[in-house]
Amino acid sequence: MKRTIIAIVMAMMTIASFAKKEPTPVQQWGQLKVVGTQLCDQNGNAVTLRGASLGWHNRWPRFYNAKAVKWLAKDWNAKVIRAAMGIMIEDNYLENPSFALDCIEPVVKAAIKEGVYVIIDWHSHELKTKEAVKFFGKMAKKYGANANVIYEIYNEPVEDSWESLKEYSKAVIDEIRKYDPDNIILVGCPHWDQDIHIVAESPLEGYNNIMYTVHFYAGTHKQYLRDRVDAAMQKGIPVFISECASMDASGDGKLDKSSWNEWVEFMEAKKISWVCWSVSDKNETCSMLLPRAKATGNWTKDLIKPWGKIVRETLRMKNGNEE
């Protein structure tokens, strides 16, 4: 009897070893493209990317590693991971470019290995055209052949007019397209990525596979911003929500779960991709982890803060994972 049981177990293990693995997001969807207002896969079918953003690299460099990326991809079921390269605050990319690249590039390489999409995010609130052109040219030349890569060329403009942002965006996009003709490029909107209605009146022309970013914090941004997004999409503007969370716009305060659920329902109905802020351990509501959480993943529920639990559960549910 014992031999029979052992034989059955070994047979099951053999079958399992030959079982076809689930395709990774990039294996499944391949080269992304924009069709009308919709992000689509290589065959033109609508795709909604859902994932998580790492915090500023110059504040939380410890999470910028391959094991953390793998954990987010496998356990949280993130289909896209955002690498927020800080252009402001001390020890930023402009002050210490080698340190920044030592953080960003392992994340990009790990995302490629894990088969998920990765956003290379120029995390700034001020225009730095010359520096951004040089950086994104370098990234496009090095990683542009990989369908995983998405470029976010300006995180959150604050004081810049849309006209100045258009000139900046054209310069950066033109440089990227020298080396990468088709990966998705995300363009920032005025006023903390809120004024999508201004963009809708005068969008960029002559470019393919670009989308415009909107950021929301559900405790502050309510129906009025969803109405702006809806109206912009009706005018043909493709929208990608590259940063969002459930508290107020400071990143702190109480979680507004009701407003968050309204946003999720809206994004899902419109098939808008979204990325949650942030994988970090700061003492504020939007940070997803406790300081004692390891840098390399394996985060048990007792190490995940309330917002992080919501993000993980939502990603696993919406991206088709069991909980």
Q: Which residue has the tokens 């990009």?
A: 108
What span, in angstroms and rounded, lies between the C-alpha atoms of 293 and 290?
6
d(CA 321, CA 205): 39
- Residue 105 and residue 11: Cα distance in Å, rounded? 42
Residue 46 token pair: 């609508």
Q: Hey, what amino acid is at 163?
A: E
Active-site entry in 131, 156, 163, 322: 156
CB 185 within 8 A of CB 210: yes
Q: Is residue 158 a contact partner of residue 192, using CB atoms and an 8 Å limit?
A: yes
Dihedral angle, C-alpha 53, 56, 59, 64, nearest 10 °: 50
The number of CA neighbours under 13 Å toward the Cβ of 129 is 11
Of 243, 262, 265, 284, which is the active-site residue? 243
Has 243 been annotated as catalytic? Answer: yes
Alpha helices in 219-294 (DSSP H): 223-234, 257-270
Q: Is 272 helix (H, G, I), strand (E, B) or coil?
A: coil
DSSP helix/strand/coil, 68: helix
Q: Is 156 a catalytic residue?
A: yes
Q: Which residues are catalytic?
A: 156, 243
